[in-house]
Structure 1
């Protein structure tokens, strides 16, 4: 339940966000998912589309002013509510107890920490989107396809000379395409694969195929032990790509 929405960016949009949240909440309820904790919303000036923060007694939804002005605010809200639902359910991907185990058990090079953090965030995104896709993807999935295709195209403009930064972007490409594979929205012949592979070639490594397969095949309901094993596999995929 959305209990408050505040415009901290000074650009309006509270009614639009409230209406979108209520529509998303209704659709989730139809699918059998209901948040147990209250949600407060804030419209803020941030460079990303949005985010959320979950505490034991409440959630906070952050919606960028840019998202409010786009046609994607309901998709953003559906995604963030997916994170909230996973947190409430104690899913390993959203469990602080599991985070502590990850820090102890998953080994990555120091230079890779930012890239691996980015890749791990996308693991969480996969599980949030397993719930959110039926809410925002559209009847034929085209809306989701267009969103992730734009993601891959945007990453192509961000390639740098830093190998690990580029691997972080490759992980984002793998997440985008892997999500489409996971939900049956892309074929093996789709040109989006070519675009992501070209990014890898230009960056001097090969990673997107293994990364896309990783994200596409993440188990739906892993135990904490199985989840940590998956993250070790992710670290191994990225480390291998960095050295080839």
Structure 2
């Protein structure tokens, strides 16, 4: 695996991630790591005819999660080279199929993209967690969800129950919680009494219109190697389930 780190910053996390990745997998194309100055730069992978590009901020590259972030992105690159449907299916096409005839809020539409990204991440992390330990990933999922659940003070909801999860958007917080728990269960990372369950169910309480258990099941039980048609239908079904539960209206 040809790895080239470009920009001033640490290289050891990427070399360590490469060493782990190569115990089970390899990439045909070289990987160019671009270290960015912007601390808010999202870690993401780009795919080109002659290379993959891993974009990551210098701050993230210096964090305790740097190796795991790189390993996760290498796994996305592997799925792309495998032409796995999760990494070749156009999200725009799925949204066109799934949302035809519906009027959908802009925020809900952005959430549908997030659901598609979660499904891609499940398939990438099926690789990540075969070559690397899951403890840091589990801690990351737990801390991220804890921050969302604690995002605002407790206030009574219209139903009289206490709202405990993030005020910014409880619906997608509940979906994110379902994803985190599904990934942990899919790879046996949690015991029944793990704190992640309490956090996830707190998020679900604040979004009664979201089928939390249904989304957890969808994410957890994604089949390993679907064909293109099957994957497209799974993503269409997930999109419709989210938008219909959220009250989209027909035109």
Question: 1 CA distance for matches of 2:85 and 2:238?
Answer: 16
Q: Which residues of structure 2 form unaligned runs of 5+?
A: 152-165
The CA deviation at 1:201 is: 1.9
Structure 1 equivalent of residue 127 of structure 2: 131
Q: Which residue of 2 aligns with 1:5?
A: 5
The structural deviation recorded for 1:39 is 1.1
Shift of 1:28: 2.0
CA distance in 2 between partners of 1:2 and 1:46 (Å)? 26
Q: Distance in 2 between matches of 1:222 and 1:230?
A: 9
Q: TM-score scaled by structure 2?
A: 0.82
1: CA distance between counterparts of 2:63 and 2:2?
Answer: 21
Cα gap change, 1:207 to 1:154, in 2 (>3 Å) = farther
The answer on 1:196 being equivalent to 2:188 is no
8 Å contact from structure 2 (residues 148, 173) kept in 1: yes
1:82 has 2:82 as partner:
no
2:111 pairs with 1:115:
yes
Partner of 2:167: 160
Question: Could you say which structure has the larger radius of gyration?
Answer: 2
Count the aligned residue pairs. Answer: 229
When residues 226 and 86 of structure 1 are mapped into structure 2, their CA distance, relative to the original with a 3 A threshold, is same
Instruction: Point out 4+ residue stretches in structure 1 off by more than 6 angstroms.
Output: none
- Answer whether contact 1:2 1:41 (CA < 8 A) is retained: no
Distance (Å, rounded) in 1 between the aligned partners of 2:196 and 2:113: 24
- Structure 1: stretches of 5+ with no match in the other structure: none
CA root-mean-square deviation = 2.3
Q: Determine if contact 1:170/1:208 at 8 Å carries over to the other structure.
A: yes
Decide which of 32, 40, 49 is 1:40's aligned counterpart: 32
After TM superposition, give the deviation of residue 157 of structure 1 in Å.
Answer: 4.0
More helix by share: 1
SS at match of 2:222: coil
**Contact preservation (8 Å) 1:49, 1:76:** no
Are residues 99 and 207 of structure 1, via their aligned partners in 2, closer, same or farther at CA, if it must alter by over 3 Å? closer
Q: Does 1:63 align with 2:56?
A: yes
Structure 2 contact 211–245 (Cα < 8 Å) conserved: yes
Q: Deviations over 1:129-183 (max 9, x none)?
A: 11011333x2xx322321211121122245236xxx4322222111111100110
TM-score, reference length from structure 1: 0.84
Match of 1:30, SS? coil
2:113 and 2:141 map into 1 onto residues whose CA distance is 20
